[in-house]
Amino acid sequence: MVLGLVRASRRTLVRRYPFFTPLIESPSVIFSYAEDSGSLKPSPSFHRSRSSWTAATDHRLWQQRHFELVDSCPRSLLERQQDGGDDRQHETPVTDASWVEKYVPRFLEPYALLARLDKPIGTWLLAWPCAWSITFAARPGNLPDLKMLALFGCGAVLLRGAGCTVNDLLDRDIDNKVERTKSRPIASGLLTPFQGLSFLGFQLLLGLGILLQLNDFSRVLGASSLLLVFSYPLMKRFTFWPQAYLGLTFNWGALLGWAAIRGSLDPAVVIPLYSAGVFWTLVYDTIYAHQDKEDDLKVGVKSTALRFGHLTKNWISGFGVSCVSSLALSGYNAELEWPYYTCLTLAAGQLGWQIWSVDLSSRADCNRKFVSNKWFGAFVFSGILLGRLAS
């Protein structure tokens, strides 16, 4: 009886004060895999939950229609596998909850998902070129500036989150038609565009606080990157080369890191380094784009995955060679010692392994190879660090 009263009280509270919904309603579904039917099903001991998220804006209530968590489970979370002599395809679900779902308060969870805090690989890919450049700029025999590494690390989290927010705001009408992206907070209706815009302003304000810690030249250089950040999401509508534009955007730190330490740019070092980052992005983001190629064709979105088609591996092999060659030139001009080239060889092997082994027809394998690029960045950083200390 007491339990019934508690449940009734919760329903009354939600009905009268809908803004409490995110704090009270916490839908949970425990999934199991049925071998016979090859489908995801809720475990027998748990009911199929429905979520009712309510948002209040200008005293007007908008309530997202109920949806089945099981039925809306993104297919990007499913990996198709062929079973020996059986022509039937089986699907292996990936149902582990992220740290955001486990530890972030429920009312903040949509914002954390909007900033992709549950997927740190994007932050790594943005932070590595910054760390490379800062370490290149260190004096021979010295460690890089640890304060700058920390500042740029925080900046990478904020700028990546801001970029994802801009992307989701501009692409909300596309994302809800793509299997992998339709569950994003704005596309799914979990957050309104106004809430997303407010969150973007908050992130940019924090980013400004970090930018003001740098020298005047770096402030101007850093602020100029916002033009790329805000325009990148539109590129996929007009060109088959949005990955190249992403490379220009994501690797701006290769210029900014050096400027933050030296107060100017050395073209002999930073231009090859920046170019290497762009070529690297063309490799990993083309692989990433192969996850969505079928949906992209349906909605009219362009990408290098569609442009290259069955010649993708030839193209990204060329980009990989250009990336490693540019890194070698940058290290030579910076007068780094032999440890740099040893680590660069390991990095080249890691990149070559990605290109050679990736199964471009498998969303799961494309995602695995994409995520593995954090190790390429780590190998290059280790080489620059050791090469600088030995010089």
Full-model pTM? 0.76
Is the confidence at residue 37, as pLDDT, over 50?
A: no
- The whole-number average pLDDT for the span 213-224 is 96
The pLDDT tens digits of the residues spanning 329-345 come to 999 999 999 999 999 99
Q: What is the pLDDT of residue 79?
A: 42
Is the confidence at residue 139, as pLDDT, over 80?
A: yes
Rounded Cα distance, 66 and 188, in Å: 11
- The whole-number average pLDDT for the span 266-285 is 98
Domain boundaries, the chain: 2-73, 111-390
Task: Extract the tokens encoding 121.
Answer: 């690989």
- Sequence-distant (6+) residues with CB within 8 A of 384 are 132, 135, 136, 331, 336, 340
Task: List the beta strands (DSSP E) in the chain.
Answer: 31-34, 39-42, 54-57, 60-63, 78-83, 86-93
φ/ψ of residue 62, rounded to 5: -120, 125
- The whole-number average pLDDT for the span 140-146 is 95
Task: Extract the tokens encoding 292.
Answer: 């969505």
- Sequence-distant (6+) residues with CB within 8 A of 292 are 178, 179, 180, 181, 301, 303, 305
DSSP state letters, 231-292: HHHHHTTT-S-HHHHHHHHHTTHHHHHHHHHHSS--HHHHHHHHHHHHHHHHHHHHHHHTTS
Which candidate, 382, 358, 361, places its Cα nearest to that of 371? 358
For all residues of the chain together, what is the average pLDDT? 81
**For the purposes of burial, counting CB atoms within 10 Å of the CB of 266, is it exposed (0-12), middle (13-18) or buried (19 or more)?**
middle
Confidence tier at 52 by pLDDT (50, 70, 90): very low
Is the confidence at residue 160, as pLDDT, over 60?
A: yes
φ/ψ of residue 105, rounded to 5: -55, 145
Is the confidence at residue 95, as pLDDT, over 70?
A: no
Is the confidence at residue 59, as pLDDT, over 60?
A: no
Rounded Cα distance, 382 and 374, in Å: 12
Count Cβ atoms below 10 Å from residue 114 Cβ, excluding itself: 24
Query: CA angle, corner 117, sides to 233 and 22, nearest 5?
Result: 100
Rounded Cα distance, 369 and 351, in Å: 9
Secondary structure of residue 136 in the 3-state scheme: helix
Give the residue with greater pLDDT, 191 vs 18: 191
- The whole-number average pLDDT for the span 137-152 is 96
Indicate the CATH number for domain 111-390.
1.10.357.140
The pLDDT tens digits of the residues spanning 227-270 come to 999 999 899 999 999 999 999 999 999 999 999 999 999 999 99
The pLDDT tens digits of the residues spanning 290-344 come to 998 988 888 889 999 999 999 999 999 999 999 999 999 999 999 999 999 999 9
CB-CB contact of 345 with 275 (8 Å):
no
Confidence tier at 85 by pLDDT (50, 70, 90): very low
- The whole-number average pLDDT for the span 32-42 is 45
Percentage of residues of the chain with pLDDT beyond 90: 65
